[in-house]
Structure 1
Amino acid sequence: MAMNLGTSSSDEPEVMIDMNTTPLIDVMLVLLIMLIITIPSQLHSVNLDMPTPTNAVKKTDPIVIKINVDDQNTISWNGKPISSRAELDEKLNLASQQQPQPELHIRSHAKAKYEAVALVMASAQRMGLSKLGIVGSEQFAN
């Protein structure tokens, strides 16, 4: 608080220029008390001992079928060459009937024709296989 000792000779009191800080300090103290009260409730935690599941499904690795198309446009199934489109369709049909469906990893040589790779993808889609992946595409980056 400020006290103003006036030296004026008139009967009217002088205007106080100093700011009254008492209400500001009161508001600050109220906010401080509210903060002190609310912090423990925000930091309070409840520790629960949850049971561990006993019938958890064991994760199995997926079955992977590797289909390669070489520079002579020869299609091979897990390293064994396929002689005809009918043989490819037969193998894809057998793979589509497996549960769970296997993953097809298709790798093509940089000089293989697009037609041969598209034939494999179209046949797989027609047989209902949905897990297709093109691997080895980093060779086409240049």
Structure 2
Amino acid sequence: MSMHLPNDDEGGEMSEINVTPMVDVMLVLLIVFIVTAPLLTQVVKVELPKTEQTEPTPDKHVAILAVTAGGEAMLDDKPVPLPNLEGELQALQKRDPNISVQLQADRAAVFDSVAKVMTSAQRSGIGKLSFVTVEQ
């Protein structure tokens, strides 16, 4: 049986889809998304992992490069000004091509100082650079 409308000249069936309920559902979903999206974009708080304490291996091919809390560079317990650090590391590399540098940075050291020391080590040609940490 088909539905017959009085104004229908052709006498056919009504075959249109009513999209109003679908549009209503989509608008509700859009509003829910707009409301919840800002809640999902919070600052992610990351707790950095703690490391196990390791003792540096005694080796004659190791140099200790430290950055103090004040941002000063120390090479084998001798203070070295940052502008001269690259030259000191190059001389160290020429004396011992297999040299490995262990970087120790004080917790209170500004990252800018640590980055400058790392850049000096890279420019000087040091191929082995490791970071020394302590257990917390």
TM-score (structure 1 length as normaliser): 0.50
Are 1:95 and 1:101, in contact at CA under 8 Å, matched by a contact in 2? Answer: no
RMSD between aligned alpha carbons? 1.7
Q: Distance in 2 between matches of 1:109 and 1:78?
A: 15
Q: Which residue of 1 aligns with 2:123?
A: 126
* Bigger Rg over Cα: 1
Q: Which residue of 1 aligns with 2:106?
A: 109
1:93 to partner: Cα distance:
1.1
> How many residues are paired up?
78
1:85 to partner: Cα distance:
2.3
- 1:85 maps to a residue whose letter is L
Unmatched 5+ residue regions in structure 2? Answer: 1-58
1:98 to partner: Cα distance:
3.0
Task: Detail structure 1 runs of 4+ shifted over 4 Å in the superposition.
Answer: none
> Match for 1:73 among 68, 71, 81?
71
In the TM superposition, 1:13-24 aligns within 5 A as: none
In the TM superposition, 1:19-30 aligns within 5 A as: none
Q: Distance in 2 between matches of 1:105 and 1:72?
A: 19
Q: Distance in 2 between matches of 1:120 and 1:78?
A: 14
Q: Which residue of 2 aligns with 1:13?
A: none
- 2:124 maps to a residue whose letter is M
Question: Residues 70 and 85 of structure 1: is their aligned pair in 2 closer, same or farther, counting only changes over 3 Å?
Answer: closer
User: Cα deviations across residues 92-128 of structure 1 (Å, max 9, x unaligned)?
Assistant: 1112223432110000111001111111111111111
User: Cα deviations across residues 37-83 of structure 1 (Å, max 9, x unaligned)?
Assistant: xxxxxxxxxxxxxxxxxxxxxxxx4411101111111111111111x
Give % identity: 29
If asked which structure has higher relative contact order (CA below 8 Å, sep 6+), I would say 2
Aligned-partner SS, 2:84: helix
Question: Residues 98 and 74 of structure 1: is their aligned pair in 2 closer, same or farther, counting only changes over 3 Å?
Answer: same
1:86 to partner: Cα distance:
2.7
In the TM superposition, 1:49-88 aligns within 5 A as: 61-82=59-80, 84-88=81-85
1:137 to partner: Cα distance:
5.3
Question: Residues 73 and 98 of structure 1: is their aligned pair in 2 closer, same or farther, counting only changes over 3 Å?
Answer: same
Aligned-partner SS, 2:102: strand
Are 1:71 and 1:111, in contact at CA under 8 Å, matched by a contact in 2? Answer: yes
Are 2:87 and 2:124, in contact at CA under 8 Å, matched by a contact in 1? Answer: no
